Amino acid sequence: MSTAARNAAAATRLVAAFVEHGVRHAVVAPGSRSAPLAIALDRDGRIAVHVVLDERAAAFRALGIGRATGTPAVALCTSGTAGTHFHAAVVEAHHGRVPLIVCTADRPPELQGVGAPQTIDQRALFGPAVRWSAEPGPPDDVGAPDWAELGARAVAATRGVHPGPVHLNLAFREPLVAVSLAPASPGAASSLRTDSLASLASDPPVAASLAPASLASDPPVATSLAPASPASDPLVAAAIASARRVLVVCGWGSASAHDEIVVVSGARRWPVLADAISGLRTGAHAVAHYEALLRAPGFGDAHRPDLVVRVGGPPTSKTLGQWLDNGVPQILVDPAGVWLDPQGSAAMRVQCEPAAFFAALGATPHEGAEGADSWFAAWRDADDRASSAIDAVADGEPLAVREVWRALPDEVRLLVASSMPVRDLEWFASSRTGVHAHANRGVNGIDGLVSTALGIATGSDAPTVAVLGDLAFLHDAGGLLGASTLSVDCTLVVIANAGGGIFSFLPQADPDVCAPDEFERLFGTPQTVDVAAVASAYGVHVEVAAAQHAARAVRKALAAGGVHVIVVPSDRVANVAAHRRIWDAVAASL
């Protein structure tokens, strides 16, 4: 076989393996060196190929698909600096537990280190941020591994109890493609191994010439891991048995245990402090407005728990995190045994699926937990009072986020940006069902959010709404390139406050720390770009709406379909005052 034919055959088998194990989307940033794989992806016929010109936007589009579906999408780019633009999305996928297959094309070994164009050292390009990485070498090398096996292992490595990204660095020699390259038919690689994905995940086969796996190292373990059943470990069982006032705290990644947590909360009268992006802020078990409650003088001291069971990622609320100090016994439940505890306050860790942990507790009331009903009722009553107080005084950005959340039809996907939108959602979103909330909280960046939203809309095939600030929008405005031609329904609500609103809540905003002009220059990140004009330049539908009309504008956009940008003007100084009025009103209501 010629070099071009070997390139085509290897790429075809790799794609067929991806498809056989569930991959249905690929996002391709165009380039030359990646041509064999791009053509194989496009010609397989069973995988949707989305072409995105900017590599960073492409990677975040793939991330959004994986976040929405739980199945990895392929992100493909050419060699050189192209792969470095994938890094932010890879790191978010790593920390956010989003499956993602990153394929970077590369020059062959003989062109490395000799000044060949578009060539850098791509080995271990993403360091420990990937679950597994491999460099199989050019397909025409003697003893080259079977790329079907490589593809199967790549998919398997993105899944399991600790899903995340993998990196395949794929070198191709020229000629990259043959002029007579014929379209591949679906299932062309009929000789694929028939190993099940489950067996690959547990003991993936390693071809002799594959590079050693670059697995992320295990986090340090501060205490011994407790077994899966809460009753089987004496310390865990004793902590639960002796606690009279128990709280469940749910961060992102908790949704899979929703039903089990609701059952236990109802039976044992354990209030659930559920971040809006957790998937648990859905009913009578959920305390939605704990941020405002804990800011009220005396409330936190009067409602100190005996035990906290924590599920999912750290909550967005810094106030909640500080309140849950190491003076409160805490059990951290995580399927991968990762120490998601930035405050260093968890005393015990249980490594198992949260659903299994709560299922083991069952629907039996907690014997000996006297006063459980009054404990639960006190939190629910306080939450109801806080909700009424917020409704009475909310305006500006808090009102816009609260009302957009309430107005979304069931089954809509919602993405909130890090910085102020995710906080406003956590602080002010009431309890409701039907909305699937997402956020890139793995590393809390504001990059790639336009592309992530479009990826969620693509992967879920559901209407998607994103709430983001003007800086986050401008950071990824290029993600709108070609968006007007996409067959997706995606509405971007851009809070336009001419800068970075969150900094106005931080200590450096105090005039005693920074003079106003110094603060504005260094932290206010002022910008005068017309966000509506930028969005219009990309050919999408644009509307400017006041905060009190944002929800109506969103409903209108969703009804119309397509890609929309709704610009909500705001003022950073007024926004701080609006938040303080809410916190004061909640405190007064108690």
Residues 336, 163: Cα–Cα separation, whole Å:
9
Count of alpha carbons within 13 Å of 531, Cβ hemisphere only?
A: 29
Residues 88, 69: Cα–Cα separation, whole Å:
20
Q: Are 451 and 475 in contact (CB under 8 A)?
A: no
Q: How many CB atoms lie within 10 A of CB 215?
A: 12
Q: Are 413 and 462 in contact (CB under 8 A)?
A: yes
| pTM across the whole model | 0.85
SS (H, E, C) 207-228: CCCCCCCCCCCCCCCCCCEECC
The strand pairing partners of 467, in sequence order, are: 416, 493
Q: How many CB atoms lie within 10 A of CB 559?
A: 10
The angle subtended at Cα 152 by Cα 30 and Cα 252, nearest 5°, is: 80
**Structure tokens that stand for 550 in this block:** 């944002």
The angle subtended at Cα 33 by Cα 477 and Cα 98, nearest 5°, is: 50
Nearest residue to 96 via CA among 324, 355, 320, 314:
314
pLDDT at residue number 208: 28
Per-residue pLDDT of the chain (590 residues; tens, 9 = 90+): 899 999 999 999 999 999 999 999 999 999 989 999 999 999 999 999 999 989 999 999 999 999 999 999 999 999 999 999 999 999 999 999 999 999 999 999 999 988 888 899 999 999 999 999 999 999 999 889 999 999 999 999 999 889 999 999 999 999 998 864 444 444 444 333 333 333 333 333 333 233 333 323 333 333 333 445 665 678 888 888 889 999 999 999 999 999 999 999 999 999 999 999 999 999 999 999 999 999 999 999 999 999 999 999 988 998 999 999 888 999 999 998 887 887 788 888 888 899 999 999 888 777 656 788 999 999 999 999 999 999 999 999 999 999 999 999 999 999 999 889 999 999 999 999 999 999 999 888 888 999 999 999 999 999 999 999 999 999 999 999 999 999 999 999 999 999 888 888 888 888 888 888 888 887 888 888 999 999 999 999 999 999 999 999 999 999 999 999 999 999 999 999 999 999 999 999 99
Q: Are 458 and 61 in contact (CB under 8 A)?
A: yes
Region label for 20, one of left (φ > 0), alpha (ψ between -120 and 50) or beta (otherwise): alpha
The strand pairing partners of 492, in sequence order, are: 466, 565
**Structure tokens that stand for 131 in this block:** 């679950």
How distant, in Å, are the alpha carbons of 320, 327, 340, 341 from that of 222?
22, 17, 12, 11
pLDDT at residue number 15: 98
Instruction: Identify the structural domains of the chain with CATH numbers, from first to last.
Output: 3-202 (3.40.50.970), 225-383 (3.40.50.1220), 394-589 (3.40.50.970)
pLDDT at residue number 231: 57
**Structure tokens that stand for 464 in this block:** 């998607």
pLDDT at residue number 519: 84
CA 64 vs. chain centroid, Å, equals 8
The angle subtended at Cα 156 by Cα 154 and Cα 158, nearest 5°, is: 75
Q: Are 189 and 13 in contact (CB under 8 A)?
A: yes
Q: Are 590 and 572 in contact (CB under 8 A)?
A: no
pLDDT at residue number 192: 37
